[in-house]
Amino acid sequence: MNENLPVRELIIQGTYLVSSVCFIVGLRGLSSPEKARAGMGYAAVGMLLAIAGTLIHAEVVSYSWVFWGLLAGTVIGVVIGRPLFITVPMTAMPQWVALSHAAGAVAATLVGVNEYMLRSAAGALSPGTMAALGFEVLLGALTVTGSIMAFGKLQEILPGRPVTWPLQNVMNLFLLAGALALLVVLAIHPEQSAAFWIMLAIAAGLGVLMVLPIGGADMPVVISLLNAYAGLSASAMGFALDNNLLIIVGALDGASGFLLSILMCKAMNRSFTNVIFGAFGAPAAAAAGKHADGREMRAMTPEDAAVRLGYARLVVVVPGYGLAVAQAQHALRELTDLLEKRGVEIKYAIHPVAGRMPGHMNVLLAEANVPYDRLFDMEEVNGEFPRTDVALVIGANDVVNPAARTDPASPIYGMPILDVDKARSVLVLKRGKGAGFAGIENELFFDPKTFLLFGDAKASLATLVTEVKAL
């Protein structure tokens, strides 16, 4: 250790170092369902150490505001996190994630604005510090409004479909270029406070204008991208405040968010720019349940569906957003438990972009205590479908549409899908006859070996449970 450093500073930096390690280990744990809970524990310890290290800093001149802030944050966290107070259904989890991004970005932006005002008044803004502060505030403000817009779309306060207007991308790029130009001006002339406030306003407006044209089904990518923005904002603040912990943790957050966004785009076979600028998707059109060539969807009674499931050897369950909307995960677990008692092998096929946030189906099924070893990624499970007796599709649509493989004219052509159509038979639980988010008919639903059980997924699963018990 450097003996020239004060003891307090050594303690702070040592605490920050341990905290950084905890965050790294925690992030590593999130790479698998089995280790995710432990990973969150490490991350919580890391945050506790980070707060403790910060509170003993010499620059803290008054603890009164700190105390009230800690108290308010603790109360809000407990109320949100404990089912005793508020029960957040899994269908609403993406909205809460978006709001948490907004809250973190608000904090980072306010710190940046405060630092700018204090240092500008003292004439202590160097070009490097101003560049870091400006970058932090720009990304922070964009993340705040972008996250609020994502929340609005997911909560259906705003239209879930893409909202477009003429020359939208040109206008957005022009505004982004203007904000970056103002950032350069500030780095050269930090005293130009008007440029700072205009840049802040443009960044906040960009968050609105960039998320509005993105459809609801692309929200997993948007959420992970906003997470990356928040991380980079925190990292830039670390450079401005000379805080190593913020630099490390912000870089981890930013890099993981960008990598996840890229992986999500790959899972949809779409470029990053297509998601951000493409305005992909259309409202799900009401379909008549009849194909252009005359084929029709074939309904099945719950009794027949129960027989097909009860006497199968392998059933692969394919969950989608409809499962979350119906909050039917517990009913699904009850059904699969009954089938396993009858000797049926159960596997769950998880598509990377199923749901409205990264890992949505994993979180949904974990809430119902579905064993982690039953969950399989697309690459792992696709080879199982040819020997699958029944593929049980619940609330999934575009991610099981064979048109992604067979129809070059389809908007989802080339998107990796779950090979459900290769199963020996397919049972689809579907609310109605409407199309998926892409606005196209699903060829799978008209396949001769596909049968549909129409109605609310939770009610349908409860009926299947009753019928299987009667076998």
Catalytic residues: 398
Q: What is the DSSP letter of 290?
A: B
Contacts of 9 (CB under 8 A, 6+ apart): none
Q: What is the DSSP letter of 343?
A: T
Residues in the chain, how many? 471
Nearest to 433 by CA among 452, 459, 410: 452
Pairing of strands 345-350, 426-430: unpaired
In angstroms, what CA-CA distances link 207 with 136, 172, 200, 306, 314?
14, 10, 11, 49, 47
Task: Residue 28: count other Cβ atoms within 10 Å of its Cβ.
Answer: 12
Distance from C-alpha of 60 to C-alpha of 56, rounded to nearest angstrom:
7
Contacts of 180 (CB under 8 A, 6+ apart): 138
Side-chain half-sphere CA neighbours of 367 within 13 A: 20
Task: Residue 395: count other Cβ atoms within 10 Å of its Cβ.
Answer: 22
Side-chain half-sphere CA neighbours of 464 within 13 A: 32
Contacts of 64 (CB under 8 A, 6+ apart): none
Nearest to 255 by CA among 287, 231, 274, 280: 231
Distance from C-alpha of 454 to C-alpha of 441, rounded to nearest angstrom:
16
Q: At 273, phi and psi to the nearest 5? A: -70, -30
Distance from C-alpha of 286 to C-alpha of 243, rounded to nearest angstrom:
54
Structure-block tokens of residue 142: 């964009």
